[in-house]
Each structure stands twice: as C-alpha cells, then as structure tokens.
Amino acid sequence: SVNIVAFGNERDGISEDNQQPSLIWSYLGRSALISQIDSSLSASHVGNPVFTEYQACVFGNVRLVVHDCPVWDIFDSDWYTSCRLIGTADIIVIKYSVNDKTSFQELKDSYVPMVKKALNHSSVPVIISAIGARKNGVPCTCPLCTSDRRSCVTTSEGVQLAKELGGTYLELHTLNDFYIQKYFGGVLEYFMIQSLNQKSSEKMKKRKKTQKCHRVQPPQLEQPEKMPILKGKASHYNADLHNLLCCCQCADVAFYPEDLSTAMEAHKIILCSVSHLFMLLFGVKSPSDAHDASIMQLAQSLFVVEAGDPFLSSPRGVPPCVPPVRVVVKDSVFCSCLPDILHFIYSGAFQWERLEEDIKKKLKDPEKTEHVLEKVKCILKTPGKLNAVKDCRSHQIKRLYNTSLRLFFNTPVLADVIFKIQGATVPAHRAVLVARCEVMAAMFNGNYLEANSVLVPVYGVSKDTFLSFLEYLYTDSCCPASILQAMSLLICAEMYQVMRLQHICELYIITQLQSMPSRELASTSLSIVSLLKKAKFHNSDCLSTWLLHFIATNYLIFSQKPEFQELSVEERNFVEMHRWPSNLYLKQLADYRNYIHSQKCHCTVM
C-alpha cells in the first residue's frame, strides 16, 4: 500500500468559488491509474472536518490511502494525530494558493517548523504545490512598488520553502488535465513507484532470512501484551470562554444604552483579543497605530467610553483599586443586538451563520439586519486588509480567534494580576484564568486572600513550568521540550485540576518513550521508575498503569538498572507476571541452544 498525506488549502483567501474541487480530489478523479475511490470525513469538532480520507486502488491492485488536511489547525489542536499521519506517510504533499500571501506566511513561520520536527530527518519525499495564476500579473520591479510583491507568493519564495523541507517544487497554474495528470500526477506516481520498490526490497530481505534455517526451528517469541491506549480529550476552550460571559465573573466593562436602563457586562481582554476597534476603545492601541480610518470612525460613532461609572460597583473578582469602565452604545439597533454579538464573540467568533439567524429573528427587518451585521464585520476587521468575515466558512473564521489570546500572554497589557514566582513576576488576566481553571476561579472569587490582591505568590513549581501552564490556559495548546518538562507540567496541571492539560502531558510522555530505541532506552539517564512514582503520587492513573506495562515489556533492559530495585513489592509482582520475554520462552530458548550445540551445527539465529 501507499500512504499519502496532503496539508494546506489551495483556494484563494478572497475567492468566491468555494465549490472548486481540491487538488487531491481532482487527481484521483482524473488519473487513469486510479480506481475504486472511496472517501470519508474525520472531525475533531462537529461541523469542522480536520481531514478527508480517500481510499482507492492504483497500478491495478495496490491500495492507496490519502489523508487530505485542508486546515493547518490540526497541528495546534491535535499535535499527536498530525505526527502520527506524517510518521505513517510514504509521500507528503503541501499545497498553498499563490494569491494568499497571508496563509503562505503563516505556513512558513508557524507550521513548516512543526512539519520538520515531525519528519525528524526521515527520507519521506515532500511535494510543494503552488496553485493558481497570480492575479496581479508580473510584479513591478520599481523599489517603490512594494504592494504587488506582498499580495502574491513568488516562485523564489516557493522554491526556498521546498529547499527548507528538502522537497520538490511544482507550480500548477490551473487544475486542468495537463497540470493534474501529466505534471503533478507524473511526479506523484514516480514517488509512488519508488516507495513500492523500497517496500518490495525490504519484504524480500525478510523472506530470505526466514528461509535460511530448515532444521529444528527456534522457539516462537510471542508479542508482548498490548499496553493501555490513551485517547485524547476534546477541547472545551470556546465553551470555557462562553461560560465566562454567562456568569460575568471578573467583568471589567459594562455596555449601556443611551438611557442607561440596562447593563451588559463583558471583559476587555476577550473583546480586545478579537477586535482592533476594542483595542482602540480601551487604550491598548493608540489612534496612530490603527492605520485604518474606518475603524476609528466606527469606534467614535458607535461607542462612548466613560471611566468611574457611578452606577456600576467594582467588578466581581477584580480588586477595588481597578475602576470599572462604562461604555455607552449610541446605536440603539446595534445595542438591542449586543447580547447576541457578545455571545458570538465569546463562543469563538466563528459561528457566523448562527449570528445571522439570531439577528434576523430579533429585528425582523432586512435593512436593520444588514446594518448590524456590517458593523460586526467592521469590528472584526483587520486594519488595512479586506473584511475577514465576509464569504468565509466557519473553520476559516475560527482561526481569527483561536490563537488571538496569545497576543496578551505574559504581557502587562490589560493585566490585573501579577504572579510572583522564583523572584520573577508574571502578568496575567483574571478573566482568562477564571474561565479556564476552576481552582483559580475559586481562588479569585472566594473568601481567599488572592481575591483582593494584585500580587499573588506561587509555590511548588518553577517559573518555566508555570509559564507553560499559563500558555495552555491562553491558547489551549502546549508543546513540552522534554519528558521531564512534560512531567513538571503534569504536576502543575494536577495542582490546579486542569485535567485536559494533564492528559496532554501523559500523551506526550508516552509518545516520546514509545519512539525511543532500545539502545537509547538502555543508556538513558532518565529514570522511568521515578516517573512512575511521580505519576502515582499525582493521581495520574493512566500514565502510571502504562509505565508499569512499559517496564514489563522492556524487562531485559530495566531489570539490569539499579532503579529496578526501587519498585514496590506489588509493582515487582506485576512486572514479573507481565514480563516480556517470559520465563517460559527463555527456558525454551536455552533448550534450543543445547540442542544446536549437541548436534554440532551452526545456529542461524544465535
């Protein structure tokens, strides 16, 4: 069989034709070598497919499996699945549109390093496919004309990307028969044949080894017991932030209509993370930083900010020294829809279709509905760029919000709490902490000293570990640098009862140990027994059970180490019962050796 993994979206970011077939589907449908095509979707979230799996036959009876991942978010949301896909791939295809410079830059800066890390110097062929005809023609060579160069991805940039990954660069100006079948298909089929030849050669070598000994066969070594499998836990990142709006903990801003009749509480950090307009409104950015007059005009025409609200007491969970902010909404129609707009923002700013339906039901007037929706689009607009919301699908809009809180991670901007750890200070935002961590929600909203303190000391963890913990709370992702760092982060996650982060650390430790060769496992200074003790002490039952099985499966290695004596009686009994290879096999092997020596013949196994 041949396994192909394709990453990236070949469609333009501003293209209106979202129905055009993908590169992979076009090749499978047009190639004369492909038959019996079948496809299925895999999703990590409802309505947001991570990849499409195609199964077909190539070269007559060779099984072809293709995983097409149009959204790079899989590397952020599920690093282990993306590593598994790359690890099992025989060929990797990376696609991008030459007319979407922003997506290409994000690919180059954020995801190419992840792909290189997952490849880990393997010799898997990589095909870089630059798709589309550049819409602005040949770029101007005048030094003053820089706008043309920013709008399209040049050939030299694509070639440089291919060099970084050691891949083959292809330019497909259109997805017609020539470019699909002869150009792209020719290169892809060449690598398919190379992969099949390599697998056939390895298979023949194994077959020759098994045919050497025709006399008394050595004892059969059974496979070790299957170790427990840990499944990933679903993210509740958007749900956490939406619940923050519903309970209004740590709210530091309130929206009022012009008659001051009602108040809608919200959080500056969440609003500023999705909108440059709110950054201007709350002083995160100055008007000179906006570079877009339309955003300034909308902010001035829609809102009025007043400090020291006499009608609003100090926000819950915020120290009394922090004054509340009152924002008066001038537009009465927009103000009536503000609860729905806030729910849209706090739900991840990607359920655009649902927001449209909610506003249509509330206003029952097409003109007013369009008026409100246009203002929402302007609020979410990035300065100097086309409207990011219009004509976009939900999974594309989600990218606007999923990593936007990262901008405020470990920065004093809008920070209302400072952690003191190992002599250093780390700024943070109560709203994010309360939304993402139940222990901190109780700490900042209960009858504790921290509830009314700006400076909060932290004990029991290092600064680097605590920063990694906060980074997960802000971004819903983490990437430990080593097994020991992952264990430290697991202990911190258990301390603050963040179960999904604890589970991610467990998966990381297991993945790293599974990929460690026997020779490295025998020589490493890392104590697996020490990891086992820590996992048990910090209630990581899944990891501790897996580590016991891991020690038993690698019995011949660990039984020679001094740390093996540190196992408890109960643990030692479990390892002896499930050890591999078993005592029975070793006895049979000794008998076989004796027989070979008694027959005075050469043992082809030993």
Specify the pLDDT at position 77: 72
405 within some domain:
no
Among 283-292, 399-408, 467-476, name the one with the lowest average pLDDT. 399-408
Q: What is the pLDDT of residue 137?
A: 53
pLDDT band at 48 (very low <50, low <70, confident <90, very high): very low
Residue where a domain terminates, one of 363, 387, 411: 387
Same domain as 273, residue 195 = no
For the entire predicted model, the pTM comes to 0.59
Residues 177 and 264 in one domain: no
pLDDT at site 389: 46
- Quick one: 76 and 177 in the same domain? yes
For the cut 60, the answer to whether the pLDDT of residue 490 exceeds it is yes
Q: Which residues pair with 74 in a beta bridge?
A: none
> 182 and 296 share a domain?
no
Confidence of residue 496 (pLDDT cuts 50, 70, 90): very high
Structural domain of 521: 510-605
Residue 229 located in a structural domain: no
| Domain boundary, last residue among 387, 402, 418 | 387
Torsion angle of alpha carbons 364, 366, 372, 375, nearest 10°?
A: 170
Residue 417 counted as domain residue: no
| Residue 446 domain flag | no
C-alpha to C-alpha distance for 406 and 273, rounded to whole angstroms: 8
Q: Is the pLDDT of residue 148 over 70?
A: no
Same domain as 327, residue 188: no
The verdict on residue 292 lying in a domain is yes
Looking at 422-462, which runs of residues are DSSP E strands? 424-428, 455-457
392 within domain boundaries: no
Considering the domain architecture, whether residues 127 and 8 belong to the same structural domain is answered as yes
**407: Cα separation from own chain's centroid:** 17
Do 185 and 333 lie in a common domain? Answer: no
Mean pLDDT of all residues in 244-266:
89
- State the Rg of the chain over Cα: 29
7 plus 116 within the same structural domain: yes
What's the total number of domains in the chain? 3
62 and 168 part of one domain: yes
Residue 302: which CATH number?
3.30.710
- Domain final residue pick, 368, 387, 406: 387
CA-nearest of 495, 520, 493, 527 to 507 is 493
Q: How far apart are CA 53 and CA 151, in angstroms?
A: 32
Sheet holding 91-97, edge to edge: 34-45, 48-58, 62-69, 2-7, 91-97, 126-131, 168-172
Does residue 68 lie within any of the structural domains? yes
Alpha-helical (H) ranges within 171-225 are 177, 185-210
Q: Do 276 and 376 belong to one domain?
A: yes
Backbone angles phi, psi at 19, to 5 degrees: -95, -5
| DSSP secondary structure of 15-42 | -S---SPPHHHHHHHH-TTEEEEEEEEE
Query: 207-211, 311-315, 332-336, 378-382: which range is least confident on average?
Result: 311-315
CATH number at residue 98: 3.40.50.300
Picking from 51-60, 74-83, 267-276, which range would have the lowest pLDDT averaged per residue?
74-83
Query: So what's the pLDDT on residue 221?
Result: 64
Do 171 and 30 fall within a single domain?
yes
Q: Is there a contact between 18 and 64 (Cβ–Cβ < 8 Å)?
A: no
* pLDDT recorded at residue 436: 94
pLDDT above 70 as % of the chain? 81
Residues 539 and 595 in one domain: yes
What is the average pLDDT across 125-148?
67
Q: What is the pLDDT of residue 384?
A: 53
Does residue 216 surpass a pLDDT of 90?
no
What's the rounded mean pLDDT across residues 401-424? 87
Residue 304 within any structural domain of the chain: yes
